[in-house]
Structures are given as C-alpha cells and as structure tokens.
C-alpha cells in the first residue's frame, strides 16, 4: 500500500518565500490603481470599453486576492498549531478587509445606477450578466447610505452582540458524563456528548440527550429571550425598513430562489413525513424496542468496524465515479494526481473536510483525514464531488464559477449516492446490507425531514413573536412541530421542548436550514431521473454542473432538462427514499 497522500502547497507558494510579500504588495498596487475609477465615475457614465476594463481589472485583482487568501487558509488548515500560518492568516485577513473597503465604491455605484444606464452598460457584458444583476438585485431593499451606516454601526453593539452573547453562553456549556461509558466522570463538550446518541445501548442514548437538554433547558428562558429579540430585529429591519414581504423572503433573495419553489419543497417534505414514521417503526421492531423514543433515532444496527486501506478506498470512490462517467473519474483523479489531496492524518490538522476551489481553470484542493472507516470513503466521494463540480464550471469567470448555495452540494451529494450504490451492489451479507440502508435512511431523515421541520418552525416562530408570543409558547409550538413530524411513530419526552434553542443556525442565519433539505432532495430527485434514464441522464447532470453559479438555481436546473422544481420534482426525491425503505423491509424479511 502506498502512503496516504498529503498535498503539496509549494504549487501555490513556497513556505517563507518572498513571493508572498511581493504578491501582497502587488495587490496593494492593483487596489490603488482600481480606486482611481472612483473619481472617473464621478465625472459621468463610463463608456462600454471603460466598463469592461473596470470589470477585468476587478477580476484580476480578485484572482490574486483569492490566491493569497486561499494559500493562507490551506497553509493554516494543514497545521492549525503553526504560528507562522496563524500570522500569515492574520496578515492576509487584514489586507483583505482593507481591500474590501477600498473596492466597495464599485458595488455601491453599480447598485445605485439608474435602470436604463445599467441596462446600457450590461449590453456588452453577457459573460458577466448574472453577477452584475445579482449585485443590483438588492437595490429595492437598500436604504440611503447614511441609513446603512447607522444600521451597520448599531448592529455591532446590537444584533451582532446579541448573537455573540448566545455563542458565548452556549460555547461555555460542559456536560456531565455520569453513566456514560468510557468517560470516567469528566465534563465534555457538546460534540463529545453527542457521540453517545449513536450508542448501541438505549440507556446511554437517553442519558446523553437528557444531559444535553438539562443544560440548555436551564438557560431556556434566557436563550429563548435572545431568540425573540433577534427575530424582532429581523422583522424591524427587513420588513419595516427594507420592504421584504416576509421574514423568509430575505433568505430566498440571498439564495436567488422563487418563494414558490421553497414552499413546494416544504409542502412535499411535510406530506411525506409519515414515510420516516414508517422507517422509525421498522427501526423499533428491528432493535427490539416497543416504540422508538426520540432518543433512539440514531441508534445503530451494527457497530461498523471494517477498515479499508487508502488505496482500496480511492479505488472504490473512483470506481463509483467511473461507472457514472469516465470524465467524472478523470476530474476526481486530477486532484489526487496533482498532489492537491491532503488525506494523511496529522497532529494539528484541521478537523472535518473541505474542497477549496480557488479559481476557474485551477485544480481544486481537498482536505480530509483518512482513517479507513466507511464514513471516510463517503467524505472522500463528497469532497471530490465538489472538486468535479468546480472543474466542470471552469469556463465561467471568477465571480460566477462557484455554484450558489442551493446547488452547491449537488455534485458532492450525488458522489455519495454513487458510492452508496456501488457499496450496496457489493454487500451480500443481509445484516450488513440492512445496516447500510439504515445509515442511508438516517441521513435522509436528518438532512431532509429534520431540517425541513426546523424551517417550518422558524416560519411559525417568526409569526408568533410578531404577535407577542412568550418563550414558553414558542417551546409549546416546537413540541407541536415535533408531533407533526413524528406522528405517533416516536415518543417524544418533554425535555425536547428546548431543542430549538440549541440550534445555532436559527440564531445566526435565519431560514438557512431549508438549503439542506433543498440540496439533498434535489439530488434524490436527480437520482430518480438517473435510475429511469440511465446514460441519457449523464449529459444533463454534467450540463447542470458546468453552469456553476452563472444563473438562478431554478433556471440552471430547468435549462439542463432536469426541472421544473415543482411538487412532482420533490416527490421524485421522496420516491427514492421510499425505495430505500422498501429495500430495507425486503432485506429484513
Ligand atoms: Zn459539501
């Protein structure tokens, strides 16, 4: 077996080389040069040639900035204990903040420009149209500059401070581990505690959840009050001042989605919730439990201890891509062959995994820690999937090649589906098959159903707070949301009334969570089409991915012949989940 690879960052900058300094200086110079346009713009409308020149200059300096900040991020990720990396990161961050301020005038000018003048300038710029339009899309919701300034300033000590307070309070929480195996009574973090909800022992799972919500519940009234205030702030700013029609409309705008698309998504998710109820009943029966408790949602069937060496792992993942399309395999292999894949475990290495696509036309960088567990194979398929996506989108400019949030997880999640399909095809042992299907359905529940119901709760909560609801009333509404979600398939104990105050997303980024449901169900629905159409489907998906972030998500899906994103589209996704469930039943018979 060959050694687990590391990446070679020398391809960007050689450590300590002077090139970093000269590039940072060059960035300053280009920033200053670009800033000269500010006076020019005051004199009047630029010609089309001048406008193109401006955009080109801006893109060039953005590329250099991405190289520098990208290198700093990767250098830091490979060893977060490296003081030199920390120093470089701080230096680059500061430079980027300065640069951002220096360039801001362009965005403001472009956004404020009259409709007819903007249309005139946009005529010759079809290759940048979406980016230019997106910048102007916030025009109806933008206030006068002096008002924007006041909001920014007051946010520092107002809204942002409030959310920082939530983080400070909850990040300090430590959890008791009495009765939890292998912890010898020490106090642990939330991540460490949550490992136990996947324990094979029912008592351990219950104890872990009870401890989590004991701690959150103690502060429930305070955290709830923080939430109420954040929700009021959201309404005052976005509805009253910025003229959005509804609290969630702010997020739809950021995702560039039509409200109807999200409404149909959530509607279908709600209608299909009983499918997961059925899964949970089956899970209870398989585990020999009378009725599943909320504590048992992630209970495992088997402890999965198989270990796959790295070479075999890569072979599996590449084989999965290859079966779909040799081109996919080739693009994934670029990352490995060009020494842009860091998989070797190392002290100080950043946890988790990511794919970093710096610039169009450059092979992306992937970081993960390979320990040979099955989950690591899925992580590899996921991150390399991201890398395939951005390489396919390489013909777009720097501002449009990254997929926007709703489509950002398409290739990554699809890659996981391909791998799951391959592994299922190889597993003969019934229990191992059932175990894998349990995993897939657990994931489907956590990403599709659970997140959709969070989003539904947020919509309700924002309405309730507007009408003066108390924290207890919000907690009651959350319990109703859970009983809607689980029906009578799962027993929910009372401490779960505090679950919502433990979800950072709903504090930090209201309505963000539906993006998870969107991304996962989109891929299931695409998978459905692949099952039906076989190889005819391949160019359609490739087409979708090649569009990167160069158009609104709905349009990208439709123009690739894969939409429209209506109720029947989303239902197609649930049909895949129903198939997995049917397969599981068959396997357990
Ligand atoms: Zn991802």
Cα 510 to Cα 503: distance, rounded to the nearest angstrom: 11
Compute, in angstroms, the gap from residue 327 CA to the centroid of ligand 1.
20
Residues 127-158: tens digit of each pLDDT = 999 999 999 999 999 998 889 889 988 998 99
Distance 408 CA to ligand 1 centre (A): 7
Q: What is the per-residue pLDDT for 304?
A: 64
Q: What is the mean pLDDT of residues 272-279?
A: 97
Output the CA 406–ligand 1 centroid distance in Å.
11
Separation of alpha carbons 8 and 2, rounded Å = 17
Ligand 1 centroid from CA 365, angstroms: 13
State the average pLDDT over residues 520-545. 98
Please say if the pLDDT value at position 515 is more than 90: yes
- Residue 134 CA to residue 576 CA, distance in Å, equals 34
Residues 24-31 have a mean pLDDT of 95
Interval between CA 280 and ligand 1 midpoint (Å)? 27
State residue 295's pLDDT score.
Answer: 97
- Tell me how far apart the alpha carbons of residues 377 and 312 are, in angstroms, rounded to a whole number: 10
d(CA 287, CA 223): 36
- What does the pLDDT look like over 406-434, one tens digit per residue? 999 999 999 999 999 999 999 999 988 99
Residue 331 has pLDDT above 90, yes or no: yes
Q: Rounded to the nearest whole angstrom, what is the distance from the C-alpha of residue 203 to the centroid of ligand 1?
A: 33
Between the CA of 409 and the centroid of ligand 1 the distance, in Å, is 5
CB count, 10 Å around CB of 538? 15
How many angstroms does the Cα of residue 474 sit away from the middle of ligand 1? 32
Average confidence (pLDDT) over 390-410: 96
Tell me how far the alpha carbon of residue 179 lies from the centroid of ligand 1, in angstroms.
Answer: 35
Q: Which residues contact 214 (CB under 8 A, 6 or more apart)?
A: 495
Ligand 1: distance of its center to the CA of 2 in Å? 27
Measured in Å, residue 341 CA sits from the centre of ligand 1 at 16
Of 369-378, 412-421, 453-462, 574-583, the least confident: 369-378
What is the 557 CA–ligand 1 centroid distance (Å)?
Answer: 19
Tell me: pLDDT of 6 over 90. yes
Note every long-range contact of 138-146, with CB atoms under 8 Å and residues 24 or more positions apart, other chains counting. 138/111, 138/253, 139/111, 139/112, 140/243, 141/238, 141/242, 141/243, 141/244, 141/253, 142/111, 142/112, 142/242, 143/241, 143/242, 145/108
pLDDT tens readout for residues 67-81: 999 999 999 999 999
- State the distance from the centre of ligand 1 to the C-alpha of 355, rounded, in angstroms: 8
> How much distance in Å is there from the Cα of 171 to the middle of ligand 1?
24
- CA–CA gap between residue 350 and residue 248 (Å, rounded): 34
Query: What is the pLDDT confidence band of residue 186, given thresholds at 50, 70 and 90?
Result: confident
Q: How far is the CA of 17 from the centre of ligand 1 (A)?
A: 32
Query: Please, which pLDDT band fits residue 543 given cuts at 50, 70 and 90?
Result: very high
Distance 384 CA to ligand 1 centre (A): 10
Q: How far is ligand 1, taken at its centre, from the CA of residue 580, in Å?
A: 22
What percentage of the chain reaches a pLDDT higher than 90? Answer: 89
* Percent of the chain with pLDDT strictly greater than 70: 99
Q: Is the pLDDT of residue 303 over 90?
A: no
Rounded average pLDDT over 471-499: 97
CA of 436 from ligand 1 middle (Å) equals: 21
**pLDDT exceeds 70 at position 1:** no
Between the CA of 412 and the centroid of ligand 1 the distance, in Å, is 6
User: What is the Å distance from ligand 1's center to 383 Cα?
Assistant: 6
Ligand 1 center to residue 116 CA distance, Å?
A: 40
What pLDDT is recorded for position 471?
98
Provide the b/e sequence for 453-471 (b: ≥16 CB within 10 Å).
Answer: bbbbbbbbbbebbeeebeb
Average pLDDT over residues 281-289: 93
Band of pLDDT at residue 185, cut at 50, 70 and 90? confident
Q: Cα(199) to centroid of ligand 1, in Å?
A: 26
- Dist. CA 277 → ligand 1 center (Å): 27
Interval between CA 382 and ligand 1 midpoint (Å): 6
CA of 273 to the centre of ligand 1 (A): 25
Beta bridge partners, 369, equal: none
Identify the band that residue 183 occupies on the pLDDT scale cut at 50, 70 and 90.
confident
Strand (E) or helix (H) holding 293: strand 292-293
DSSP string across 479-536: HHHHHHHHTTSEE--GGGGGSGGG-HHHHHSTTTTHHHHHHHHHHHHHHHHHHHHGGG
| Whole-number pLDDT of residue 387 | 98
417 by Cβ neighbours in 10 Å (0-12 / 13-18 / 19+) ranks as buried
**Averaged over 208-221, what is the pLDDT?**
97
Residue labelled with tokens 């309700």:
460
> Where in 347-495 does DSSP place strands (E)?
354-356, 365-367, 490-491
CA distance 518 to 262: 8
How high is the mean pLDDT of the chain? Answer: 95
Query: What's the CA-to-centroid distance between 352 and ligand 1, angstroms?
Result: 11
- Ligand 1 mean position to 564 CA, how many Å? 24
Distance from the alpha carbon of residue 532 to the mean position of ligand 1, in angstroms: 26
Measure 353 CA to ligand 1 centroid, in angstroms.
9
pLDDT of 307 reads 86
What's the pLDDT score for residue 130? Answer: 96
Judged on CB neighbours under 10 Å (0-12, 13-18, 19+), 368 is buried
**Predicted confidence band of residue 264 (pLDDT cuts 50, 70, 90):** very high
What integer is the mean pLDDT of 232-244?
A: 97
The rounded Å distance from CA 158 to ligand 1 centre is: 32
Q: What distance in angstroms lies between residue 519's CA and the mean position of ligand 1's atoms? A: 10
Confidence of residue 12 (pLDDT cuts 50, 70, 90): very high
Paired sense of beta strands 365-367 and 341-342, if any: parallel
Centre of ligand 1 from the C-alpha of residue 478, in Å = 28
Q: Cα of 172 to ligand 1 centre, how many Å? A: 28
Distance 318 CA to ligand 1 centre (A): 18
Q: What is the CA(70)–ligand 1 centre distance, in A?
A: 17
pLDDT average, residue stretch 47-58? 96
Mean pLDDT confidence for 94-104 = 89
pTM metric for this prediction: 0.94
pLDDT score at 227: 98
Spacing, Cα 333 to ligand 1 middle (Å) = 18
386 alpha carbon – ligand 1 mean position (Å): 7
Q: How far is the CA of 413 from the centre of ligand 1 (A)?
A: 7
State in Å: Cα 443 to ligand 1 middle.
14
């Amino acid at each position: 077996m060959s050694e687990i690879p590391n990446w070679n960052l020398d391809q960007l900058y050689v450590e300590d080389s002077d090139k970093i300094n000269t590039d940072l200086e060059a960035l300053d110079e280009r920033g200053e040069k670009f800033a000269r346009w500010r006076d020019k713009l005051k004199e009047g409308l630029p010609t089309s040639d001048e406008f193109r020149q401006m955009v080109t200059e801006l893109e060039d300096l953005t590329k250099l900035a991405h190289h520098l900040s990208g290198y700093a991020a990767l250098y830091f990720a490979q060893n977060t204990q490296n003081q030199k990396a920390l120093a470089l990161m701080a230096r680059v961050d500061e430079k980027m903040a300065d640069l951002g301020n220096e360039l801001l005038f362009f965005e403001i000018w472009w956004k404020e420009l009259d409709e007819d003048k903007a249309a005139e300038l946009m005529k010759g710029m079809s290759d940048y149209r979406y980016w230019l339009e997106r910048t102007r899309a916030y025009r109806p919701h933008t206030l006068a500059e002096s008002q924007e300034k006041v909001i920014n300033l007051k946010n520092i000590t107002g809204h942002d401070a409030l959310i920082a307070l939530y983080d400070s309070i909850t990040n300090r929480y430590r959890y008791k581990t009495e009765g939890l195996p292998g912890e010898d009574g020490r106090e642990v973090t939330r991540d460490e505690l949550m490992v136990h909800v996947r324990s094979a022992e029912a008592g351990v799972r219950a104890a872990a959840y009870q401890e989590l919500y004991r701690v959150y519940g103690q502060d429930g009234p305070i955290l709830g009050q923080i939430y109420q205030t954040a929700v009021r702030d959201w309404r005052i700013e976005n509805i009253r001042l910025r003229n959005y029609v509804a609290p969630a409309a702010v997020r739809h705008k950021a995702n560039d989605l039509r409200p109807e698309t999200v409404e149909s998504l959530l509607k279908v998710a709600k209608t299909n919730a009983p499918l997961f109820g059925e899964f949970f009943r089956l899970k209870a029966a398989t585990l020999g439990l009378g009725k599943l408790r909320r504590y048992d949602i992630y209970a495992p069937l088997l402890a999965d201890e198989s270990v796959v060496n790295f070479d075999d792992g890569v072979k599996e993942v590449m084989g999965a891509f290859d079966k779909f399309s040799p081109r996919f395999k080739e693009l994934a292999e670029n990352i490995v062959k060009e020494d842009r894949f860091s998989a070797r475990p190392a002290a100080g290495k950043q946890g988790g995994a990511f794919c970093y696509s710096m610039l169009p036309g450059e092979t992306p960088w992937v970081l993960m820690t390979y320990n040979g567990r099955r989950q690591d194979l899925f992580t590899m398929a996921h991150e390399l999937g991201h890398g395939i996506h951005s390489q396919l989108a390489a013909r777009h400019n720097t501002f449009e090649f990254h997929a926007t949030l709703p489509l950002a997880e398409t290739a990554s999640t699809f890659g996981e589906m391909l791998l799951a399909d391959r592994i299922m095809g190889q597993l003969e042992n019934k229990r191992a098959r059932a175990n894998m299907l349990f995993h897939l359905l657990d994931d489907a529940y956590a990403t599709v159903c659970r997140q959709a119901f969070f989003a539904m709760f947020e919509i309700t909560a924002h309405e309730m707070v507007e009408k003066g609801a108390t924290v207890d009333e919000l907690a009651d509404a959350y319990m109703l949301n859970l009983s809607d979600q689980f029906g009578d398939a799962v027993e929910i104990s009372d401490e779960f009334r505090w679950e919502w105050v433990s979800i950072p997303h709903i504090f930090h980024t209201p309505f963000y969570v539906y993006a998870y449901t969107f991304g996962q169900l989109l891929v299931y629905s695409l998978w459905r089409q692949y099952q039906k159409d076989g190889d005819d489907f391949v160019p359609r998906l490739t087409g979708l991915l090649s569009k990167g972030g160069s158009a609104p998500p709905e349009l990208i899906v439709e123009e690739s012949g894969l939409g429209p994103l209506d109720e029947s589209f989303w239902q197609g996704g649930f049909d895949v989940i129903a198939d997995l469930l049917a397969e599981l039943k068959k396997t357990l018979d």
